[in-house]
Every structure is written in C-alpha cells, then in structure tokens.
Amino acid sequence: MASQKLPPRQRAIKEILIRRIGIVPKFDPEKWTLTIYGLVEKPSSLRWNQFLELPKLDEVADFHCVEGWSVLNNRWEGVSFKTIISLVKPKSEGRCVTFECDDGYTTSLPFLDLLDDEVILAYKHNGEYLRPDQGGPLRLVVPKKYAYKSPMWLRRIKFTTQQELGYWEQRGYSNTADPWKEERFSE
C-alpha cells in the first residue's frame, strides 16, 4: 500500500512537479563537463561521453518534495555516487560534498549520506533521458532526503571539510532534510 511508504504529511502524486529558481540551462553534449574537485586525490573533469561510459546503475526510489508531495517508485538510471568516490578518491578530511549547478543552485551533504546504494547521478528517469526542464542532462538523486538535496543541472562536485549552506538552506530550510523526521526547516 503506497501510504505505508509515505513520510509524515506527504501525499502521493503521479509525476514529479518541476521546480526551479532560474532559467533552464542549455545542454551542449560537446561542451558539457562534470568537474569533481576539492579534497580529493584525483580531481577529474568528465565530458558527457566519458560520463556515459562509467558503470551504469538502475535504481527504483521514491522522490519526496518539501512542499508535501511524493512520487513513488521512480526508475532512475545513471552512475552510482560510489563510482565517483572510487574515481576521485576523497581525502580523509573531505567529510562533506557540495553540489554546484549550471543555474547557480548549490546544496551540500555529509559524505556519509552519499554512501547509500541508491544515491545516483541520474541521466534517465523512467527510461527516458532527462529533459532540460527535469534537470537534464544530469541531476543528483538522494531518495532519503527532500528533493532540494537532489539538485538539477549538476556541473561541479566539491569535497570539503565542512557542510556548506546551499540555496534553500540559506533561506531557512533544513540542512539535514530528512522527510521521515519532517526536517523541513532549520531550527
């Protein structure tokens, strides 16, 4: 029964609603790169075709918005965040990760939150490549957090010593964002 999978005060809807803070960035696969830097042994910059060559992960996971809606059983395809970890080899002091996006959006998470098997850098949703208005070509998906911790138009990943406040966190939203604990706003 779907309601057993819903966090408190969430309602199930059929499709993910599109939310953004600015314009939808244009995607040019010839110019696009994903840069991973900061406290890592092997900083990397991957072009789109190189990113698509990384081992693929298929994951079915729910998607919860802080506004009170959830979309259950989404099929995401992309690259496990654990693959990125093995590629760049974070230094021991790199305890947090900041995600930077094409539209200026940022958010960050503790490194340990990104070790869940279902954390994915997704380029497909329900069998289709992500459209630009869905965050394509690449978005992070962190199913155990509210959706503002799953940024769209991902371009840079920075490993840091401390968690940085992102766009919504600077505006009073919870930095931990656990939907099961209803961590919607900072205290």
Q: Cα–Cα distance between 156 and 126 in angstroms, integer? A: 25
The dihedrals phi and psi of 64, each to the nearest 5 degrees, come to -115, 125
Instruction: Give Cβ neighbours of residue 147 (< 8 Å, ≥ 6 apart).
Output: 16, 19, 63, 64, 65, 66
CA-closest candidate to residue 66, choices 150, 155, 165 = 150
Residues of the domain holding 150: 32-181
Q: What is the CATH number of the domain that holds 75?
A: 3.90.420.10
Report if residue 19 sits inside a domain: no
In a domain, 78, yes or no: yes
Structurally, the chain folds into a number of domains equal to 1
Residues 10-35 as b/e (b if ≥16 CB within 10 A, e otherwise) read beeeeebeeeeeeebbebeeeebebe
Contact 71, 46 (CB under 8 A): no
Q: pTM for this one?
A: 0.94
pLDDT block averages, 10 residues each, the chain of length 187: 73 91 91 98 98 97 96 97 98 97 96 96 98 96 97 98 96 96 90
Is residue 173 helix, strand or coil? strand
pLDDT of residue 1: 34
DSSP 124: E
**12 domain-assigned:** no
Residue with tokens 């949703």: 125
Check residue 21 and give its pLDDT: 80
pLDDT of residue 182: 94
Q: What's the pLDDT score for residue 4?
A: 57
